[in-house]
Structure 1
Amino acid sequence: MIKCHLSKILGDKKLKVAEVARVTGINKNTLHRLYNETATRVELDVIETLCRYLDVEIGDLLEILDD
């Protein structure tokens, strides 16, 4: 299973999904799915944009967990 740490990162940086969507151009629904860990697929450019904007590595955003 892949865990997305977007909610923790946004909380630590005191950012809101709407603000990230506005600045990055990423669809708000896509961000909400990542935030709530309900996304089943994500485009690589979305991951890249998020990592660059949030100044994190891919491993900070996504983690593979054993089932």
Structure 2
Amino acid sequence: MIKIKVSDMLGKYKMTQKELAQKTGIRPATISALYHETIKRIEIAHIDALCKAFNCKVEDIFEYIPDDK
């Protein structure tokens, strides 16, 4: 499973979803899907924009969690 930590990053930077959408140019609906971890796919350009907005590395936004067997 991939954990998307956009909600954590928004809290850390005290930023709203709307502000993140404006800062990154990513559609608000896409930001919402990232926030709620319901997104099915993401563009590399969006990952790049998120890293720039949060001044972070990819692994600060996404985390791999192995499935229990």
Q: Residue 15 of structure 1: SS of its match in structure 2?
A: coil
- Please report the TM-score for the alignment, with normalisation by the length of structure 1: 0.95
| Matching residue's letter, 2:54 | L
Could you list the runs of 5+ residues in structure 1 that have no partner in the other structure?
Answer: none
Could you list the runs of 5+ residues in structure 2 that have no partner in the other structure?
Answer: none
| 1:57 and 2:57 are equivalent in the alignment | yes
Give percent identity, aligned residues only: 37
| Matching residue's letter, 2:33 | R
Residue equivalent to 2:32: 32
Q: Which has the higher helix share?
A: 1
- Please report the TM-score for the alignment, with normalisation by the length of structure 2: 0.93
Stretches (4+) displaced over 3 A:
none
Higher radius of gyration, 1 or 2: 2
| Matching residue's letter, 1:3 | K
Q: Residue 15 of structure 2: SS of its match in structure 1?
A: coil
